[in-house]
Amino acid sequence: MGMLAQMGEGRSQAKKALKVSKRSALPPFLALDVMRKAGELSQAGEDIVHLEVGQPSSAAPKATSSALISALEQTPTHGYSVAFGVMGLRARLAQHYSDWYDVQPHTDNIAITVGSSTAFALAFMAAFDEGDKIALPTPGYPAYRNLMEGLGLEAVPLSAGPNQGWRPMLAEMESWEALPDGLMIASPSNPTGVVLSDSELAEICRWCDKKGVRLISDEIYHGLVYGCRAETALNYTKNAIVINSMSKYFSMTGWRIGWMILPDDLVSAVEKLAQNLFISAPTPNQIAAIAAFDCTDELEAHCQRYAQNREILMTGLPRQMIEGAAPCDGAFYLYADISHFSDDAVKFADSLLAREGVAVTPGVDFDPDNGHQYVRLSFSGRTQDMHEACKRIHQFVGDLSSNVAVKLAGF
Ligand SMILES: Cc1ncc(COP(=O)(O)O)c(C=O)c1O
């Protein structure tokens, strides 16, 4: 019997509406929306100062470019690597942890990923089930929350705003009816620049171990600190998932190389998920990335530029924006207070871009409830841009104060 006959010849089935998943309703990453808008203006010939994304304006270390060329010359047909990545890079990372933190992760526990962004997806999928709750210091990096939502996890905001000295408080979680299944932290933090002290980090690790809460520690801004140091969670617990990447300190955003240091109980799960999700990170880039770890002088010079840029913003921006700003001890962001001028960060950012050509990210990207009075300025760019941004922002808030733009922007 033919298929049509089996389905009941003559009876027609109603056409279904094409499906789009519910998870596609997840919110956009506003910083990237601003980047697109600002990029279009730049392309149209407008003179735009870009402070909207955390992307170093410096090139990848010189030695990585020559390593990439020779990797391609020596083996023109680089195929996939194993899912956890080439052993040379994993071994170099193990050495890096020994050099920087005096801790020795085994190469079996190191997984190379496609940027740290896919590492989050792997961590969330490996450690949690649909409906699980993960505490998320807020304000925080929006992709954590958006991705969790997309995966059916519940991101539970953990206050880390001005009333908490911009730091997550264990006492708040203790006061919740039920403990979360996970806690995701980032130190230094994006957007606040907060760096947890060794004792704060140790306390968080101990608390998670005691309570059975899986800790995920995003350490992507390690190396970018101003007058303090950032410790790895690996030194305080064997149960955390540690995530990092070549994107920030190493100035290699577009290379899409990140990594995870995994606790033993998640190694096999993450390997299977990585095999099925992306097979492997780009192999030539993995090989070339090894060279970056020996480029300390070049990389430290970038850090000095960020420190200089930070100083220019801290001293050159309107005083009201700095007084209520987050600490900015690490990473390359200033989470600046605009409450003196506006309580609508999206309108403020739109108007600043339209009128003065300065692209910044509205605070609601990082904190949907309380981010209306903040904007994030990235100082990962060129030093001359920081001077120019200060000049233009003074002009902008001067106009706001004299009510010219207030009318135009409808504040
Ligand atoms: C806190 C944080 N984690 C992760 C990422 C993503 O980085 P990657 O390029 O490694 O995917 C970013 C990018 O801005 C970030 O700010």
DSSP string covering 268-279, please?
HHHHHHHHHHTS
| Residue 256 Cα: closest atom of ligand 1 | 9
CATH code linked to domain 27-57+296-409:
3.40.640.10
How many angstroms separate the alpha carbon of residue 2 from the centre of ligand 1?
54
Strand 241-245 to strand 258-261: parallel, antiparallel, or no bridges (unpaired)?
A: antiparallel
Give the distance (Å) from ligand 1 centre to CA of residue 251: 12
Pocket test for ligand 1, best of 116, 118, 250, 377 (most atoms within 8 A of CB): 116
Distance CA 7, CA 160 (A): 58
Distance 220 CA to ligand 1 centre (A): 7
3-state class of 223 per DSSP? Answer: coil
Ligand 1 atom 3, closest CA: 220
The DSSP bridge partners found for residue 112 are: 259
List, by residue range, all CATH 3.40.640.10 domains of the chain: 27-57+296-409, 62-293
Q: Which CATH class, in words, describes the domain spanning 62-293?
A: alpha beta
| Nearest ligand 1 atom to alpha carbon 141 | 1
Quote the mean pLDDT of the chain: 93
pLDDT greater at residue 142 or residue 7: 142
80 Cα–ligand 1 center, Å: 24
Structure tokens at 389: 């941004």
DSSP string, 37-106: HHHHHHHTT---EE-SS---SSPSPHHHHHHHHHHHHH-TT-----TT--HHHHHHHHHHHHHHHS----
Ligand 1 centre to CA of 116 (Å) is 6
Q: Could you tell me how far CA 15 lies from the centroid of its own chain?
A: 42
Question: Cα 267 from chain centroid?
Answer: 23
**DSSP codes of every residue in 128-195:** --TT-EEEEEES--HHHHHHHHHTT-EEEEEE-SGGGTTS--HHHHHTSSS--SEEEEESS-TTT---
Q: Where are the beta strands (DSSP E) in 225-270?
A: 241-245, 258-261
- Strands 358-359, 333-337: pairing is unpaired
Question: Ligand 1 centre and the CA of 139: distance in Å?
Answer: 15
Residue 95: is its pLDDT beyond 90? yes
Whole-angstrom Cα Rg for the chain: 23
pLDDT tens digits for 177-200?
Answer: 999 999 999 999 999 999 999 999
Q: How much is the average pLDDT of 211-221?
A: 98
Distance 245 CA to ligand 1 centre (A): 8
Taking the CA of residue 117 as reference, the ligand 1 atom at the shortest distance is 11
What average pLDDT does range 223-245 have in this prediction? 97
Ligand 1 atom closest to residue 54's alpha carbon, by position in its atom list? 14
The CA distance from 95 to 103, in Å, is 9
Residues 6+ apart with CB under 8 A from 203: 170
**Model confidence at 383: pLDDT above 90:** yes
For residue 116, give the nearest of 249, 267, 21 by alpha carbon: 249
Atom of ligand 1 nearest to the CA of 120: 4
pLDDT of residue 12: 79
- Of the candidates 195, 186, 251, the residue with the CA atom closest to the CA atom of residue 220: 186
What is the structure's pLDDT at 310? 98
What mean pLDDT comes out for the span 143-164? 95
Question: At CA 11, angle to CA 7 and CA 13, rounded to 5?
Answer: 80
Q: How confident is the model at residue 403 (pLDDT cuts 50, 70, 90)?
A: low
Crossing angle (nearest 10°) for helices 296-316 and 383-401: 20
Pull the structure tokens for residue 402: 């004299």
Give the residue, by CA position, lying nearest to ligand 1 atom 14: 54
pLDDT tier for residue 400 given thresholds of 50, 70 and 90: confident
pLDDT in tens, 30-46: 778 888 889 999 999 99
- How does pLDDT run across 127-150, given as a tens digit for each residue? 999 999 999 999 999 999 999 999
The C-alpha atoms of residue 312 and residue 109 are separated, in whole angstroms, by 41
Ligand 1 pocket check: which of 146, 148, 184, 220 to mutate, most ligand atoms within 8 Å of Cβ?
220
Distance 29 CA to ligand 1 centre (A): 12
* Top mutation candidate among 35, 113, 117 for ligand 1, by most atoms within 8 Å of CB: 117
- Residue-wise pLDDT for 322-372, tens only, equals 999 999 999 999 999 999 999 999 999 999 999 999 999 999 999 999 999
How many whole angstroms separate alpha carbon 390 and alpha carbon 402?
Answer: 18
Q: Do residues 219 and 241 make contact, with C-beta atoms less than 8 angstroms apart?
A: no
Q: Which residues have any ligand 1 atom within 6 Å of their CB?
A: 54, 115-117, 141, 186, 190, 218, 220, 245, 247, 253, 258
List C-alpha distances in Å: 291 to 63, 64, 93, 111, 311: 6, 5, 11, 18, 31
- The answer to whether the CB of 145 falls within 8 A of the CB of 136 is yes
